[in-house]
Structure 1
């Protein structure tokens, strides 16, 4: 638990507030004769992903590059990309309770220019106080610049901003930037995290 009570919260999008059903992706790949997991693996190659999450290319351009890398699998990639994921209701309830207690909450995410549309689709518009989108900033987690921008948006010193993220690398980066950070493992963590704000 943080040494001092946090007065702001940063919550990661993918893997924390939003989760993905792997069966959906596998069904798309199976339908199009692709190996299970190949679209995600190709999309997440850092040389390709970095350009999208730092705003150098659009989401559409990113997906086009994935399709090209898979030998022109345009239809498969389009179907795969259309799945917006699902909101974790337990995490959303936690975010709502934290905000109701007067604590500002930021969504801290490496995302593309499609994020606003995804938030609308998932019913998340207005559920956080600030959205810190790497593609808007031009820098991604775990850069010091990213975390500095997030703290500035929350108007809170780094040592009072608690980050919850499912990436060890991003948690380490946040700590280097002087933010207390918690490695998310699932909803069983929520009682501990609620206690941090009690």
Structure 2
């Protein structure tokens, strides 16, 4: 049998941090953009990869998105205003999962944040009130290696001083979950607050 985890590794975006599609849609409507335009421009892999491995800063990435929207709309001022408002929205915290993280740490379980993030991550953690909630923060833009690379998970285990088989990884991406399992971690795909009882049981909380 797999030993009980002594460390928890939690994803940020789509897991601990929620993004409300209605907010983003409202920004698109305000600036006359087609639904989904901002999301599509931001997550296009050719634009996203450089910023999450630290080859671009967050501000440089925003300029790339503005340029793409300008090409689509022919209106740089509108594109810039839309991206500025979009960037001002930093999401919200999944409180039930944060409560679990706090309970885990109180019980002696090490907790790490594992994210494909940008250089804006420290500011985001301050904005969200999460700065002091983790024993380690593993940010792909600092490592220059993204999830689900084995080297990323290896760095996370080193940061938590825990062997992979004693780490439980929680992420909303099935591909990232599979990557964690491939290096020997227990891994669970997050679908929402209904998953909390399972995670608590797995950690013995």
TM-score, normalised to structure 2's length?
0.94
CA RMSD of superposed structures (Å): 0.9
- Report the Cα distance in structure 2 between the residues aligned to 1:177 and 1:51, rounded to whole angstroms: 25
- 1:4-35 deviations in whole A, cap 9, x for unaligned? 20110000001111001111111111011001
1:189 to 190, 195, 203: 195
SS, match of residue 145 in structure 1: helix
User: Is the aligned partner of 1:176 residue 2:182?
Assistant: yes
SS, match of residue 126 in structure 1: coil
Residue 7 of structure 2: aligned partner: 8
How far apart are 1:101 and its partner, in Å? 0.2
- Report the Cα distance in structure 1 between the residues aligned to 2:151 and 2:80, rounded to whole angstroms: 35
Residue 51 of structure 1: aligned partner: 50
- Report the Cα distance in structure 2 between the residues aligned to 1:93 and 1:104, rounded to whole angstroms: 14
Residue 18 of structure 2: aligned partner: 19
**Greater fraction of residues in helix:** 2
SS, match of residue 70 in structure 1: helix
Residue 101 of structure 2: aligned partner: 95
- 1:62-101 deviations in whole A, cap 9, x for unaligned? 1110110111311101110110100011010000000000
Larger Rg: 2
- Report the Cα distance in structure 2 between the residues aligned to 1:3 and 1:182, rounded to whole angstroms: 14
User: Is the aligned partner of 1:37 residue 2:36?
Assistant: yes
- 1:107-145 deviations in whole A, cap 9, x for unaligned? 000000000000000111101111100000000000011
- Report the Cα distance in structure 2 between the residues aligned to 1:197 and 1:76, rounded to whole angstroms: 42
- Report the Cα distance in structure 1 between the residues aligned to 2:194 and 2:98, rounded to whole angstroms: 14
User: Which structure 1 segments of 5+ residues have no match?
Assistant: none
User: Is the aligned partner of 1:119 residue 2:118?
Assistant: no
How far apart are 1:3 and its partner, in Å? 2.5
Of stretches 172-181 and 97-106 in structure 1, the one that deviates more from structure 2 is: 172-181
1:136 to 121, 127, 142: 142
Q: How many residues align?
A: 197
- 1:133-172 deviations in whole A, cap 9, x for unaligned? 0000000000011000000000000111110000001001
Residue 78 of structure 1: aligned partner: 84
SS, match of residue 47 in structure 2: helix
1:164 to 167, 170, 176: 170
